[in-house]
Structure 1
């Protein structure tokens, strides 16, 4: 009898454990609460994804205003919004959170309380700051149109200083830091990004900080890759702008190789044209990009395999942070130089992805450009 009871208890515990595990496997997020004064209004749950806004669910509210939405868990924080007409509440969802919202319509965008997530309290702070900034911009445009552009520029700079100091740089891995990167204001019916790496080099560093952090916490996800892509494009745009502002005279020898007079990590000026007689792998690289470590390991294998037969690597860094670059190349055996002049544009202007590789033969002729290199190992062997 005692043994049977023990067996039943054991089987019961196992069954309960299996049910709990199955429940956890299906577990997702839940957003619920009440929207007062919104009887007969349609409340939408929308996903703010990389490809735009998509409707997930909706409910017609009754007099109580009670609602409940749910969804599956993601690999990284995702962004949703509750919307009635033009009133929006932004919500960040990290995995299996249970979020409670209490709001009053028709001012629910500003008059709401959110519980269950410290990150969403920060998202609310940022949303309210953005609304206030938009209001001040509109006032300037209406009252001081002749000075509006310059004054708005100052306001945006102050806003960015506040957000980077008190939110993004304090915790770049947080969902609210990602949210802050994509805030905007509407000026003359045009949406203007507050952080825009294509227009401000400092913004590239802000995106880079979040990208690096997300690569640690959420590696391989689409949002993380998107951050890296924006950062890399911003860095490329900055190099082009610098090159246009400060023209550099590049010399090409009679066989067409364009020299790159740049300093290495020891401060010595190096020249691409110094390696006549060797096969040169000319590589433009960003050490801060995703996958850099694996790529460098692959290059080490090629260098160890072919250096004794005449292969040299001339690696040009396009990283934003020169100190970071010096740390990364300290133990690399090939030539490492840093482009802080924009001279690499001669080789990188038409490229759309990194790294960018050219092969130069022993006569100092560029014989393969990035689009022509299918198998790097085989192409090197042909030239040696």
Structure 2
């Protein structure tokens, strides 16, 4: 859920920075260098002002050229490129315009010298024109969010602030949804252009991507497959393709893990030594409802949950409830001290004391602790990561 709270104090200029520092330079199969020309007219330029042309290579800006703006506000760049390239035209680090140059293009730009990124009008560069068109729509969305920020600031001391915030969250979500739809349409209309690749990475606020990799995965796949076929030697396309291969492999792995540890699956068996060194199998608890709980003495949230487990164990153990607790501790001393301090010694404790190298970590795909699974009498997973009141309610549903 997109939260307005997250972006209240973020500046709209951030999105242009993200665009400008887009980490890929466009490379196509060699076709020989061709000359490009950029002619510009900047209204209100101060005398002796320089304008710089930097090439976007990786995450770095590579200086390409610089010229002094004439008394009439005009400037001109010429050069040769073999492939389409992203460049930044800038007067200062915060006053810039990102452009997409094609070999042989003759681009003309007119803008206000104090805000070239927001005021630029471009001819002779279709790719740049599309980027400007997209960013103008994005800036409109950013301004709408800023208006919500003004409402928040005006109501911050209001007694009904929580209600106001909920309404602002809803309005912010509408703005994001609208921008998401616009981005989808933009990609549909420009699927065979490199600007579609850039659109995948647009953000409406820091770390708030317009496209959601889960909900919009098909757009990532379509851009990848289309551009990989059109421009197989393009470095950004190859980078995107590599990222997609990794992502899809991870999704396949997650699906496989879900098949092993998802709801309805029989929990993979565990056989680890207990406090006395005797091997205790998880499967030995069949016939009972079992909480399989992964914890460690060094894990504060785990320790905070243990008193709740003690209460529930005392309440439901005689009715057929068991706890099989697996520690990811590194030392026997820490493990046993944690059990003693939390008074959890009544149930089953096992550990190989291998920390994150424990065999149970990949077996259950554990990314963090606490992590838990509730098993039925046949060892099937019926719930996961229940804690506090939710676990109490589930056990009451089963036993009461």
- Give the TM-score normalised by structure 2: 0.50
1:216 is displaced (CA, Å) by 1.6
Unaligned runs of 5+ in 1: 1-23, 255-344, 351-384
Cα distance in 1 for residues equivalent to 2:148 and 2:248 = 33
Cα distance in 1 for residues equivalent to 2:60 and 2:218 = 25
Of residues 162, 175, 189 in structure 1, which corresponds to 2:182? 162
Contact 1:204 1:231 in 2 (8 A): no
- 2:62 counterpart SS class: strand
Cα distance in 2 for residues equivalent to 1:125 and 1:80 = 17
Cα distance in 2 for residues equivalent to 1:74 and 1:247 = 54
Cα distance in 2 for residues equivalent to 1:226 and 1:196 = 19
> Cα–Cα, structure 1 residues 53 and 25, in superposed 2: closer, same or farther, change >3 Å?
closer
1:108-257 matches, cutoff 5 A: 108-144=116-152, 146-147=165-166, 148-165=168-185, 167-186=186-205, 190-197=206-213, 201-236=214-249, 238=251, 246-247=262-263, 249=265
1:114 is displaced (CA, Å) by 0.6
Contact 2:45 2:113 in 1 (8 A): yes
Instruction: Please give the per-residue CA displacement for 1:68-122, whole angstroms capped at 9, x wherever unaligned.
Output: 22343244x3222212232222211233322111112223222222111233222
Cα distance in 2 for residues equivalent to 1:142 and 1:239 = 44
> Cα–Cα, structure 1 residues 191 and 64, in superposed 2: closer, same or farther, change >3 Å?
farther
> Cα–Cα, structure 1 residues 110 and 51, in superposed 2: closer, same or farther, change >3 Å?
closer
Cα distance in 1 for residues equivalent to 2:177 and 2:254 = 20
Contact 1:204 1:235 in 2 (8 A): no
**Is residue 77 of structure 2 the alignment partner of residue 66 of structure 1?**
no
- 1:136 counterpart SS class: helix
- 1:213 counterpart SS class: helix
Report the equivalent of 2:335.
none
Cα distance in 1 for residues equivalent to 2:180 and 2:219 = 10
Cα distance in 2 for residues equivalent to 1:185 and 1:253 = 45
Compare CA radii of gyration and give the structure with the larger one: 2
Contact 2:33 2:82 in 1 (8 A): no
Contact 2:202 2:209 in 1 (8 A): yes
Contact 1:28 1:95 in 2 (8 A): yes
> Cα–Cα, structure 1 residues 177 and 99, in superposed 2: closer, same or farther, change >3 Å?
same
1:162 is displaced (CA, Å) by 1.4
> Number of matched residues?
230
1:54 is displaced (CA, Å) by 3.3
Cα distance in 2 for residues equivalent to 1:107 and 1:29 = 24
Contact 1:208 1:227 in 2 (8 A): no
Cα distance in 2 for residues equivalent to 1:137 and 1:223 = 31
> Cα–Cα, structure 1 residues 251 and 233, in superposed 2: closer, same or farther, change >3 Å?
same
Cα distance in 2 for residues equivalent to 1:96 and 1:248 = 61
Unaligned runs of 5+ in 2: 1-30, 154-164, 271-360, 367-400
Cα distance in 2 for residues equivalent to 1:134 and 1:55 = 30
Structure possessing the higher relative contact order (Cα contacts under 8 Å, 6 or more residues apart): 2
Instruction: Please give the per-residue CA displacement for 1:239-284, whole angstroms capped at 9, x wherever unaligned.
Output: 5666569446368799xxxxxxxxxxxxxxxxxxxxxxxxxxxxxx
1:238 is displaced (CA, Å) by 4.6
Instruction: Please give the per-residue CA displacement for 1:126-184, whole angstroms capped at 9, x wherever unaligned.
Output: 0111222222222223323724444333322221111212x211231213222322222
> Cα–Cα, structure 1 residues 67 and 26, in superposed 2: closer, same or farther, change >3 Å?
same
| CA RMSD in angstroms, aligned pairs only | 3.4
Cα distance in 2 for residues equivalent to 1:51 and 1:140 = 32
